[in-house]
Structure 1
Amino acid sequence: MATVKIVLRKKLSKDGTLPLCLRITKDRKTSFIHLGYAVKIEDWDEGKQRVKKSHANSARLNNLLLKKLAEATDGALEIESKKTHVSAKAVRNKIKPSTGATFFPQADDFLNGLKQGGKYNQYTADKPRIGHFRDFLKGEDIAFSDITVGLLEKFKVYLKSCHTLPRKTKTSTDQRKRPSIAKPKKPMGERTIMNHLVVIRSVFAHARKNHVITKDQSPFGEDGIKIKFPDTKKVGVSPEDVECIENTELPNPTHDHARKLWLFSFYFAGMRVSDVLRLRWSDFQNYRLHYSMGKNDKGGSLKIPDKAVAILKHYEQFKGNGDDLIFPELRGIDLADEFNTQRTIAFKTSALDKILRNHVAPAAEITSKLTMHISRHTFAGMAGDTIPIQMLQKLYRHSKVETTIGYQQNFIHQAADDALDAVINKKTKPREQPEPE
């Protein structure tokens, strides 16, 4: 029968502590599982397998050790009850999860899964957020059971005191020689802070899927910390601005190309740029566009507006065969490599947004913000509350109508405007004059 004990490994760390481990012994052979904690030898009671009261966190650590010992003993009994002959290593493999039972090994495994799944955008967003949580904990790992509502509230306060620098831009050799000037810092906003909590919640969910923790260990949920995103302002350009974008002379082919992509997105109900850049000539059949949206794989078909036909005719001169990409941004890219494809789309979109802001908008005398994604807001703003919500769901390719309702609420203003006018422009009855005596 296998025996499981909590012991100190005789491997002294620089801080003078020894690592706590589970020691599994079977047929005089041993195997060890590191628990992610270390104590000084004078703070350890070897006979009782407990941390002495001289340790600062003795009570909490002993509770954790007892739980780990019970789980390990149960795991050993389970495997031995199913098999007649098992080794110490087999018992260890049964007890120990495939990745660490503390937060950051699971976080690394979560990030690796995003990368392997080709989710470049989420990977690049979530990796620094996990890094901020690591910085908050001064670089140390932490058990899932120690991530409490109170700790996350402190993390929120920590993030509010953090600042982010503007994006780095390429500088010339002459600029590098000049004395450095401190760049203005921007406080971390509430939405950004909420996104940090979301990724921590995602790591908890990942750990549950790996059977490392149970649901009741999560600090999220009905009785846990609340994740509430602040309202965001979604504003598109006006119908008059769209006409200016359409009619402005842009002799520079690069600027004209960015303008055409923006309009093409707008003409197809604000199609996401990631979907626009993936379009092939074979997606257009019988004067209709047939495609599945990349974000949720939602399929559908739309007629080709006449204005979009004119743009397609411009790019037809570069067409090689029916399966070619319509627009050049992703040509030569292995689209089967989803991670690299998403990364390329992000870089190309950033370049297009820069052209739209710095060249197209000034040429069209547009003062409001102009980016590729603004085309989606522009369509939504012009749709307002005049198009049935079920039809907008179809146009936007949302999986749930609730998503469409929530999104479109940002652009429905008529009822509120009418109510405001009704009060301000309300006519009062003339005062009755008293009858003469």
Structure 2
Amino acid sequence: MSSVKAVLRTKANINNLYPIAIRVTKDRKASFLYVGQYIKRCQWDRVNNCVKKSHNDALNINQLIFKKLSSANKKLIEAEIDGNYQSVDDIKNKIVNSSGDFFAVSLIYLKRISDRKKFHQLDIEYGRIQVFKEFLNRDKIYFREINIKLIRRFDNFLINKRKISSRTVSYYMIMIRTIFNIAISELLTDAKCYPFGKGRYQIKFPETQKIGLNSDEIKTLETIDDLTKAQDYALSAWLLSFYFAGIRISDVLHLKWKDFVDNRLYYRMGKNKKIVSLQIPDKARRILQKLNRNKDSIFVFKELENIDLENNKILRTRIKTITRNFNRRLEIVAEKAGIDKKISMHIARHSFGNISGDKIPIQILQKLYRHSSVTTTILYQSNFIQKDIDNALEKVLNL
């Protein structure tokens, strides 16, 4: 005879909270399926096997427990009907693997992205799932089949067959890991199958090289002539980004004339929604005066005029197209200026970091970049601060 029951496990995590689990029992042997919720021991009702009403989120957690318990019991009955003897582990596998198809759960993952209206991410993640399906050459695979060996083979496939960079490979692995975590939380697979983490496949991002323009190269761009109207327009966007501490292209395109008040720029960053207030440098003012030809325009740059800003999908596609066009023009500008470095809209941000180097206190740079943590600023600026390293090398070699 077998049974399922909601229980509170006896081993706490580092926060001294205890995990809630569904216990599967047969022949006095038990196995556990974790719900994914942690509570204090005093918050568990041992009589009714549920969370006490005193817990702030008792109703939602108890609904989750009931859902998982009902699902597990249904799968347990189906396993019992089989007729052949099954151990508690066999029954557990029946429960967690009966609907544990990776690509079925990937639909949940994609829907959650769609619900957040992250359509650019949705397109990218859908494409990555299709690449994984291409690698497997099958439309269905259970989570228990996705082991460390298969993950490493996929890693090798991406790098050697698809010619994908190591950094992008890491994003593929994060996608697989996220879908795995959804499956575990939904009781569709066992955490023991998890192929990621210490002693397993570890996701590591390789260091990337950030190269910005130097002061002389910026001056060359500021004084260059013999540009077409389209090339000068793209360069104006690039220089404005640089003059305002490397604001991102999406924020540049969202700039409105009304954002400039009393010799200051006020705008909300698209990435983290933080308010930015910056004094308008003289160089930026001259560009704004050049662009301000149509007094009836709303935006500094015309590309988002008459675009439904509430339609994230259309807006994302539009910004992507504009960025691509600007970058193509900037490549021509760089060639005319005799600059052999890659120039794109994002390089304006790297260029500001490169020139600021160790000249500006890190706390001020944090405010300019609007980073949530000064640690992020330190890590970002470490790509550009080479003075101490160069001096140390010179001292050794200057015999």
CA contact (8 A) 1:145 1:217 kept: yes
Letter in 2 for 1:198: I
- Counterparts of residues 7-406 of structure 1 (less than 5 Å): 47-48=83-84, 66-67=91-92, 69=94, 101-163=100-162, 187-208=163-184, 212=188, 217-320=193-296, 324-357=298-331, 359-406=332-379
Deviation string, structure 1 residues 275-321 (Cα, Å, up to 9, x no partner): 11111122222221122221122222111111111111122222326
How far apart are the structure 2 equivalents of 1:214 and 1:250? 65
Letter in 1 for 2:300: I
How far apart are the structure 1 equivalents of 2:362 and 2:188? 43
**How far did residue 218 of structure 1 move?**
3.2
Counterpart residue number, 2:398: 425
| SS across alignment from 2:267 | strand
**How far did residue 271 of structure 1 move?**
0.7
How far apart are the structure 2 equivalents of 1:246 and 1:239? 11
CA contact (8 A) 2:96 2:188 kept: no
Q: Which moved more, 1:124-133 or 1:338-347?
A: 124-133
CA contact (8 A) 1:120 1:343 kept: no
Question: Structure 2 length as normaliser, TM-score?
Answer: 0.74
**How far did residue 411 of structure 1 move?**
0.5
**Aligned-residue CA RMSD (Å):** 2.9
CA contact (8 A) 1:250 1:256 kept: no
How far apart are the structure 2 equivalents of 1:131 and 1:157? 17
Letter in 2 for 1:280: K
Quickly say closer, same or farther: Cα 1:318–1:110, change in 2 above 3 A.
Answer: farther
**How far did residue 71 of structure 1 move?**
7.0
**How far did residue 158 of structure 1 move?**
2.1
**How far did residue 334 of structure 1 move?**
0.6
Deviation string, structure 1 residues 223-273 (Cα, Å, up to 9, x no partner): 432111111111011211111111111442111100100000000111110
How far apart are the structure 1 equivalents of 2:187 and 2:266? 41
Q: Please tell me whether residue 411 in structure 1 is matched to residue 384 in structure 2.
A: yes
| SS across alignment from 2:277 | strand
**How far did residue 404 of structure 1 move?**
1.3
Larger Rg: 1
CA contact (8 A) 1:278 1:330 kept: yes
**How far did residue 221 of structure 1 move?**
3.2
Quickly say closer, same or farther: Cα 1:366–1:117, change in 2 above 3 A.
Answer: same
Question: Structure 1 length as normaliser, TM-score?
Answer: 0.68
Name stretches of at least 5 consecutive residues in structure 1 with no aligned partner: 5-33, 36-44, 51-61, 73-95, 164-186, 427-437
Name stretches of at least 5 consecutive residues in structure 2 with no aligned partner: 5-73, 76-80
CA contact (8 A) 2:243 2:281 kept: yes
| SS across alignment from 2:266 | strand
How many equivalent pairs are there?
Answer: 325
More helix by share: 2
How far apart are the structure 1 equivalents of 2:108 and 2:82? 34
How far apart are the structure 2 equivalents of 1:160 and 1:63? 41
How far apart are the structure 1 equivalents of 2:243 and 2:170? 34
| SS across alignment from 2:383 | coil
Deviation string, structure 1 residues 76-133 (Cα, Å, up to 9, x no partner): xxxxxxxxxxxxxxxxxxxx9xxx6421122223223323433233223322221111
How far apart are the structure 1 equivalents of 2:219 and 2:384? 20
How far apart are the structure 2 equivalents of 1:293 and 1:215? 39
How far apart are the structure 2 equivalents of 1:242 and 1:364? 10
CA contact (8 A) 1:283 1:290 kept: yes
